[in-house]
């Protein structure tokens, strides 16, 4: 049923809980896992505005490098968890817009399930920003399992 499962991670604790759920599903269904981290270029670079200077370029490179390192750690953690459970896993890090890239990569990889954490944002935060999980749930044609933080 779920031959290929995409686990989207941001390295947080709620994301790790989602990975645990995804790995358990993979174990039950004999699935392979892809661990995905998307470096959010929209959010992280936006505050720089139109600065065009060597300092801005260096700052962007530093931010990008830091986020790439976070992605390495996050996907490596999912990989370790999956390997410990005897599940085949691949890691993928990409730059873009998280919700869009999660859906695109899931479609391109013919994934049968997307698993991700949800922070459970409510009120004004949810209204103003929404969440990556909400956007994926609303837009994906692939089933999505959102594991809440509690």
What local confidence, expressed as pLDDT, does residue 128 receive?
42
Q: Which of 16-25, 64-73, 122-131 has the highest mean pLDDT?
A: 16-25
Check whether 21 has a pLDDT greater than 90: yes
Share of the chain above pLDDT 70, in %: 79
φ and ψ of 146, to 5 deg: -105, 125
Average pLDDT over residues 15-33: 96
Distance between CA atoms of residues 139 and 42, nearest Å:
18
Q: If you search the block for the tokens 């004004």, which residue do you land on?
A: 124
CB 34 within 8 A of CB 9: no
CA 91 to chain centroid, in Å, comes to 11
Question: Which residues does 49 contact at the CB level (< 8 Å), separation at least 6?
Answer: none
> Looking at 2-16, 71-85, 111-125, which range is the least confident one?
111-125
135's tokens: 């956007």
At 94-139, the pLDDT tens digits run: 999 999 999 999 999 999 999 999 865 555 444 444 589 999 999 9
Q: Which CATH class is domain 4-148?
A: alpha beta
Question: Which residues does 100 contact at the CB level (< 8 Å), separation at least 6?
Answer: none
């Amino acid at each position: 049923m779920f031959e290929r499962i995409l686990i989207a991670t941001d390295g947080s604790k709620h994301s790790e809980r989602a990975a645990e759920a995804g790995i358990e599903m993979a174990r039950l269904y004999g699935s392979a896992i892809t661990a995905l981290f998307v470096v959010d270029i929209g959010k992280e670079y936006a505050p720089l505005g139109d600065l065009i200077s060597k300092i801005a370029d260096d700052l962007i490179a530093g931010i990008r490098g830091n986020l790439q390192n976070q992605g390495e750690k996050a996907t490596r953690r999912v990989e370790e968890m999956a390997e410990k459970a005897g599940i085949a896993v691949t890691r993928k890090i990409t730059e873009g817009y998280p919700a869009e890239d999660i859906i695109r990569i899931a479609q391109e990889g013919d994934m049968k399930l997307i698993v991700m954490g949800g922070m459970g944002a409510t009120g004004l935060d949810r209204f103003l920003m929404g969440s990556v999980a909400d956007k994926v749930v609303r837009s994906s044609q692939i089933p999505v399992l959102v594991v809440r933080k509690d």
